[in-house]
Amino acid sequence: MSGVDVIARLVAAAESRARDGLGRRLRTIANGDPTHVIVDGRRLLNFSSNDYLGLAGHPALVAALKQAAGEHGVGATAASLVCGHRRPHAELEEALADWTGRDRALLFSTGYAANVGVMQALLAAGDCCVQDRLNHASLIDGARLAGCALRRYPHADVEAARRQLALCEDGGAMLVSDGVFSMDGDIAPLAGLASCAAEMEATLMVDDAHGLGVLGAEGAGSVVEAGLDASQVPVLMATLGKALGTAGAFVAGDGDFITALAQFARSHVYSTAPPPALAAAALAAVSIARREQWRRERLAALVEHFRNGAQAMDLPLLPSRTPIQPLLLGGAERTVAVSTALERDGFLVVAIRPPTVPAGRARLRITLTAAHDFGDVDKLLRALAKAMRDNGGP
């Protein structure tokens, strides 16, 4: 017997994290309106949401969800391959495949489940997976669970990715990157990665959770914006809980690949299908996102307005043209202090600290949505200037 109390060990680790000022806590949030939330009874202007197109509360999505719930009930009741695959699921998969230029798409309950499922299905011991060092945790975990060799390259460095792929001697090889990086907001060098994957005979996978709906023609994502097609990026994952305002995820690709994935992705095979009513709401969101270009144009204008204002105040913004605007403050203590000061002034801007980001790289992750207006951005800039002055200077 080992004599190790695993629960006590976990509790001790959490207590250590709290002592280091890195603990996180659940807070019950209530919606106020598309740009505000209610926290502890206070109405806050929200700059921490991933609802980039402002669709989460759209009347068309709410109506679609209600109608489908009346027809199909609240839950899918079973895994997709048993009896959980309903008409809204099929229609949504068809729409997502068409939008992203793929033959077929397969729904998953979450983006984490999609990434773990696709990588576990494609990779095995003896294979090699090469990933950007700033990839989402689910991609890292997916490779580890697959049992393959995991190699990571410095952020956005195509030549380093090529060198790592050259070390993959036997078995299959995958090159995997976020399309838009969730904490830095920058866009992967996808054209270069596609050329690298082709040269090194590796399969390229892109996680476009934060690009879908925001970038590319009709909002089809970072891969489309980069001018790449399904032959160059054969594995595409994206989520429904960011720009589309609902929940869930999908993997899209060649028809034979998706048919096989449905058989072998354990997180799909052994999970209850997403609620059909939610799929109906997501289908309504896809339609709006594709046709209402003004939402992306407004979002881009708000991002530009924010960046111009922040740069005029010499705020330490990381380079990003996406709705994710990271304000790099370095130390966790100061980052929390600035976030707390903003909340006192009526703004929700969450502090991001290690281990989510590297030590010394704590930041405010400011996110803009099409539901904000220019006045909201100006208020935030004034509050940021004050909070920064009061907590260690600009």
- The rounded average pLDDT for each run of 10 residues, N- to C-terminus, in the chain (394 residues) is 86 90 86 90 96 97 98 96 97 98 98 98 97 97 96 98 94 97 98 98 98 98 98 98 98 98 98 98 98 98 98 95 96 94 97 92 97 98 94 74
Task: Determine the number of helices (DSSP H) and then strands (DSSP E) in the chain.
Answer: 14, 14
Integer angstrom CA distances of residue 190 from 58, 125, 175, 193, 296: 32, 27, 11, 5, 21
- Which residue has 């502090």 as its token pair? 351
Q: Residues comprising the binding site for pyridoxal 5'-phosphate?
A: 111-112, 182, 210, 239
- Separation CA 97–CA 103 (nearest Å): 6
- What pTM does this model have? 0.95
Q: Residues comprising the binding site for substrate?
A: 24, 136, 356
CB atoms within 10 A of CB 59: 8
- Which residue has 């090194």 as its token pair? 200
Residue at 299: amino acid letter: L
CB atoms within 10 A of CB 21: 15
Integer angstrom CA distances of residue 370 from 38, 183, 376, 383: 20, 19, 11, 20
CB 112 within 8 A of CB 248: no
CB 215 within 8 A of CB 183: no
Which of 213, 187, 210, 280 is CA-nearest to residue 53? 213
* Chain centroid to CA 123: 22
What pLDDT is attached to residue 1? Answer: 67
Structure tokens at 329: 């403050």
What secondary structure does DSSP assign to 201-225, as a single string? Answer: T-EEEEE-TTTTTTSSGGG--HHHH
CB 345 within 8 A of CB 386: yes
What pLDDT is attached to residue 394? Answer: 62
- Separation CA 176–CA 131 (nearest Å): 5
- Separation CA 333–CA 187 (nearest Å): 28
CB 216 within 8 A of CB 185: no
* Chain centroid to CA 305: 23
Question: C-alpha dihedral over 58, 50, 310, 349, to 10 degrees?
Answer: 100
Q: Residues comprising the binding site?
A: 24, 111-112, 136, 182, 210, 239, 356
What secondary structure does DSSP assign to 174-207, as a single string? Answer: EEEEESB-TTT--B--HHHHHHHHHHTT-EEEEE
- Separation CA 57–CA 285 (nearest Å): 10
**Cis geometry, peptide bond prior to residue 355 (ω within 30 degrees of 0):** yes
What pLDDT is attached to residue 393? Answer: 67
Contacts of 49 (CB under 8 A, 6+ apart): 56, 367, 369
Integer angstrom CA distances of residue 303 from 6, 51, 298, 323, 381: 46, 14, 9, 6, 12
Q: What is the DSSP letter of 110?
A: S
Domains of the chain: 25-53+293-390 (3.90.1150.10), 59-291 (3.40.640.10)
- Separation CA 330–CA 349 (nearest Å): 16
- Separation CA 346–CA 45 (nearest Å): 6
Structure tokens at 221: 């994502």
